[in-house]
Amino acid sequence: SQTIHQWPATLVQPVGSPLSLECTVEGTSNPNLYWYRQAAGRGLQLLFYSVGIGQISSEVPQNLSASRPQDRQFILSSKKLLLSDSGFYLCAWSPGRINEQFFGPGTRLTVL
Amino acid sequence: SQKIEQNSEALNIQEGKTATLTCNYTNYSPAYLQWYRQDPGRGPVFLLLIRENEKEKRKERLKVTFDTTLKQSLFHITASQPADSATYLCALDVDTGGFKTIFGAGTRLFVKA
């Protein structure tokens, strides 16, 4: 069966520090991969999605970036965090077009 | 831009009753619409997907309708239970490629015993 992993589960970082969140999927190949951010009490904001290795689509211009170095690995990064980057970061995968998305456990990021 | 609206106020119902949640959208004609459940501190969990050519879909105690003329989806939970208490999100595809999905803010449901 397929599983999706995210780490770390929680993270507290100072303003201006770098960020790297990792997401990996097991049990499937060539998944579509997604990064979302959810602010407290708000909906999910799509940040990036990828349909293949090295293919990244950015939805929100900001100080975040994403990379997909391997088929089942998706990384969210920042060179300098802002206070507004705080939130709940969720990685998800789907088997293809018009399919449900399967979410990871999320990373709670607090920028102080 | 595409917009999804869900009832921002929480829905409180009595156990055993039917809960009905609404999802309205504007400025797009999605090929399909999805509903997810999210518990506090957890990632959303997929519940149902309905395509534009389907009027209704059922899964156990869940029922979803999709009215492309009204640009609205209704999500029903029959014989609701306290364990159904959660936030329910609707989502729709917003590009022809089918890869990009946007989510509503969700409606919080409380089922009282």
Could B100 and A49 be called an inter-chain contact, meaning their C-beta atoms sit closer than 8 Å?
A: yes
Q: Interior CA angle at B102 toward B78 and A32, to 5°?
A: 105
Burial (0-12, 13-18, 19+ Cβ within 10 Å), A108 = middle
The pLDDT value given to residue B54: 92
Average pLDDT over residues B32-60: 94
pLDDT tens-place string over residues A25-70: 999 999 999 999 998 777 899 999 999 998 998 887 678 999 999 9
pLDDT tens-place string over residues B64-83: 999 999 999 999 999 999 99
Could B105 and A100 be called an inter-chain contact, meaning their C-beta atoms sit closer than 8 Å?
A: no
Distance of CA A82 to the CA centre of its chain: 17
Q: Collapsing DSSP states into helix, strand and coil, what is residue A71?
A: coil
Q: Which of A100, A103, A109, A110 to mutate to test the interface with B (most CBs of B within 10 A)?
A: A100
Nearest to B35 by CA among A101, A48, A35, A59: A101
The pLDDT value given to residue B97: 65
Q: Which residue of B43, B98, B105 is in closest CB contact with A103?
A: B43
pLDDT band at B7 (very low <50, low <70, confident <90, very high): confident
Q: Which residue of B45, B102, B106 is in closest CB contact with A46?
A: B102
Tell me, what DSSP letter sits at residue B37?
Answer: E
The pLDDT value given to residue B76: 98
Chain B's closest residue to A57, CA to CA, is B100
